[in-house]
Structure 1
Amino acid sequence: MSQYLPPEETEFQYVSNDLSNIPQEVSGASRTYFQDVKRRFVHNKVAMVSFFLLILIVLIAFVGPFFVPTDPNTQNVLFANLPPKLGNLNIPGLNGMQTVGGKTINAYQAAHVPHGTYYLFGTDYLGRDLFARILYGTRLSIIVAIVATLLDLLIGVPYGIISGLASERVDTFLQRVIEIISSVPDLIVVILLLIVLKPGLTSIIIAIAFTGWITMARLIRAQVFKLKQNEYVLASETLGESKWKISIRHLLPNLSSTIIIQTMFSIPTAIFFEAFLSFIGIGIPAPSASLGTLMNDGQKAFHFLPYQMWIPAIILSLIMITTNLLGDGMRDAFDPQSD
């Protein structure tokens, strides 16, 4: 029997054995998994800034052409290679001044541009409005990326689920198909497809999606192998549920985070690949514009008219950076222990 010690000689003070007056309920509302994900994502300042900046770029690219009625393919060689100009403001780089033969001149006066006519991003070597071409080019690059990414989802997700749930023989066969496709460099596959198909928007999307689904399929397969060992999946198999129902009811909801995160990383990859193909001359055919074709045209006169290449390059970089940072933020939100 323990010896009683006075309060001054003990570290703890005896209060009472009666717990009836202590509230037992848990204070605060409970949160679901996706509410917790949303809370973590909103508190990520870098991801939120990237999200709003990306939304702004997409809105300008898709809504901007309605407010800029200029045809991006209209040529006016008399106004070729005009520098950027914003109204009558005397802002360096946006005042229409150009250095020719060591002298700074007003390019708009020299070309006899009508008063009140100005080009925010200047004009190219054919006198086409670069602002209108960048709007349409950005929209085209985003459309290519989104459609190619959706094709990645439609092919990669079912392929990965089937490979993960199928028998060992079927899984081995499906993985050998992936290894054969991935063993050939993507650029060679795309070039061969573009030779067979007619050059254009559809051909570019098919070419990018032809190999883009492989990463998605491998990630989904790895997650399915992990999930199918859980008790609820084993219980469903014991109750006689088909693999189709197990995939829809149990696997897809638990694969949603992987699918969303990989999708966010697939979009910038597709945008960059389309820009690369257009830059080397096998992408979007002329006179249509994409960010890649605009940079290809701008690099020809980069030493004399750097703005023709810098502006589309900056927009492409912003899309790439914001999308990757947004993907990082979503990964941290869905799996805070991923780091």
Structure 2
Amino acid sequence: MTSARVLLVTGPGGAGTTTVAAGTALAEARAGRSVLLLGERVGTLSGVAAVRPDTGQWFRDGVLGIQRQTGTDLLHEDELTALPGSEGLALLTALAQAHRSGRWQTLVVDLPPVTEAIRLLALPELLARYVRRLLPGGRPASLLAQLAGLPYEAAGRWAGELDELHALLTSPATAVRLVVEPTAQAPATVRMARAGLALHGLALETVIANRVLPSGSPDPWLREVAAAQQSALDALPAETRDLPHLGGTPGEAELTELAASGALDWAPAGEPRRLTPVLDDGPVWRLPLPGANRSELDLVRRGDELFLTVGPFRRAVPLPAELRHREVTGAALEESGALAVRFAPDPG
């Protein structure tokens, strides 16, 4: 079975993520790799297989499956209409199925806008946690579930599938490609996205500045816009890649030319870097949160977990075993971008 690498493409709405996802898929195909492009807005491209998940069918299959497991027949297939937000879950399900098939060397996913995308990528871990909290693995809970007619074994299988999807999204072969337009808002968007991705253990492959205008235009208005873009580019990470403005809606010819330029190739060996917490003497647990803002950080300990809020994102982070019996004595965001959480020394 082929172990596919996965590139997840997102950015602010209107930044051109669909164009970049399509160009990325073409670049992978040009490199001789079998490619599947997944997304709600994908079109037909030479040498690239494309799938638009059927959200309605995914929702109907899910509800009918639950009815079969519980022995009920309350809703008919014709009555079921997909709920808002189902699109993202259908997309993740299609990704998991494509990866499990082993048919593709590269999977490119055109995700929703960046804030929604990061929350979506965090959802498998969150749902698995909820399932396990609601249906713990002990025999009494299993007995109660059976007496109540609950699909206990099905819930366990679902938790396992969610774990599998979370492992795929956080594996070394998976990364996020962040697309922004070089505007005054771009640096803040990149900082917010970097912090959210790091919080959830997701790797950032690269930042792409899309629709960059050439400097030196004879048109005064274009020169002014290009100068403003350059100011925004100067505030973005040094490794940001620039893509030229391709006009209105790029066709396959323009996308093929862009793919041939090498600008959309996968990041060099050794990248992307997945940021992981580090436990130092003290003890101090350092959680990397590049781009985080002190005023948007919050930390609460509950049992063996830290609940971290970073801007619009929140995650329950399990504590390492050696810290679970120690009290939190303080926390501070360091200049390096790491949140340093201090714990009381071992009383023994």
TM-score by length of 1: 0.23
> Which protein shows a greater Rg?
1
Higher relative contact order (CA 8 A, sep 6+): 1
Structure that is richer in strand per residue: 2
TM-score by length of 2: 0.23
